[in-house]
Amino acid sequence: MRPTKIDVMSPILRMARSAMCLAMALSLIISLAPIPATQAASGTLIVRKKTYMRKKKSVNAKALRTLIKGTRVTMISKSGAWYKIKYGAQVGFVLSSKVSKYVRTPSRKPKKKPNNRSSGKVILASWNKAATRKLVRRGQVVRVTDVYTGRTFNVRRVMGHLHMDMEPATRSDTAILKKVYGGKWSWNRRPIWIHAKGKRYAASMNGMPHGKGLSKAANGYDGVFCVHFLDSRTHGTNKVDRLHQKAVRIAYRRGQ
């Protein structure tokens, strides 16, 4: 019996169907296999170790430039072990092991210090007014600025009814006061600003220790020094001291 046409073609058809099934299976496997992807990214990278920006994703590719430790570059995308980056006008690639993502540390706002600074123009206050005489209470510590040098130190009111007798608050304040006078105590008058109640007041001082202070020399200053305001008088003469008044007016003008 002669084989029919169908009988002859059957093996060929079976082989063709097998080939098609194999191709479809391979296609499915390939579609399911992970493919290294280029991921779009953005942000800043920082170089951890000295490295090179390459023209291509290869350690053998041309080096476009050297990137030193700490250099920040712009990240464009990531592909496998490489970052595509931009530095200046150049675009290239860098190994991910050589860089890390830059995280900006939030800047800490400095704590606000208590506002004990005096503001505004300097006030020319007359000693004849009760408010001026009570400006600094006995035992109260206030800040003083020497007008000529800008040095600032703290003083304590000790006594005084015709003017204020004061002493440096601490040993460090005594040291500053002595520097103001060039390292030697003196009766010379100097224009100063008294910082009290949030304002500055024109005054004059001399630096010579005399009388007795409240600290009993624990501050390194054996006595008190005089602080004059407009129209104040000396305790010895009960008269206005011309040189103190001149220094008071200089302090006033310098504060305008």
| CATH number, domain with residue 73 | 2.30.30.40
201 band by pLDDT with thresholds 50, 70 and 90: very high
Contact (CB, 8 A) for 64 and 52: yes
Segment 91-101 mean pLDDT:
92
Shared domain check, 136 and 93? no
Q: Please say if the pLDDT value at position 5 is more than 90.
A: no
Is residue 49 assigned to a domain?
yes
For the segment 189-207, the average pLDDT, to the nearest whole number, is: 96
Residue 8 has pLDDT above 70, yes or no: no
How many domains, in total, are found in the chain? 2
Q: Is residue 203 part of a domain?
A: yes
If asked whether residues 165 and 91 sit together in one domain, one would say: no
Q: What is the pLDDT of residue 22?
A: 67
Percent of the chain with pLDDT over 70: 77
Same domain, 143 and 93: no
The residue segments making up the domain with residue 42 are 38-101
Structural domain includes residue 110: no
- Mean pLDDT is lowest, of 31-40, 93-102, 118-127, for 31-40
Give the integer Cα–Cα distance in Å for 197 and 178.
26
| 56, 84, 101 - which closes a domain | 101
Asked if the structure places residue 123 within a domain, the reply is no
Say whether pLDDT at 99 is over 50.
Answer: yes
Residues 145 and 250 in one domain: yes
- Name the band, by pLDDT with cuts 50, 70 and 90, for residue 101: confident
What is the distance between the alpha carbons of residues 82 and 93, in angstroms, rounded to a whole number? Answer: 6
Give the SS3 label for residue 156. Answer: strand
Q: Are residues 92 and 137 in the same domain?
A: no
Token digits for 196? 């009290």
Same domain, 150 and 228: yes
The sign of the dihedral angle between the CA atoms of 162, 174, 141, 229 is positive
Any domain includes 55: yes
Q: Is the pLDDT reported for residue 35 higher than 50?
A: no
12 within domain boundaries? no
Weakest mean pLDDT among 32-36, 119-123, 194-198: 32-36
Confidence of residue 215 (pLDDT cuts 50, 70, 90): confident
- Give domain status of residue 193, yes or no: yes
One domain, residues 135 and 90: no
Q: Please tell me the distance from the alpha carbon of residue 162 to that of residue 184, in angstroms, as a whole number.
A: 26
| pTM exceeding the 0.85 threshold for the entire prediction | no
Closest by Cα among 84, 82, 119, 114 to 98 = 82
**235 shares a domain with 143:** yes
Nearest Cα neighbor of 54 from 14, 83, 34 is 83
**What is the average pLDDT score of the chain?**
85
113 has a pLDDT exceeding 50: no
Contacts 24+ apart (CB under 8 A), 94-97: 94/45, 94/47, 94/51, 94/52, 94/53, 94/54, 94/67, 95/51, 95/59
Interatomic CA distance for residues 217 and 225, integer angstroms? 13
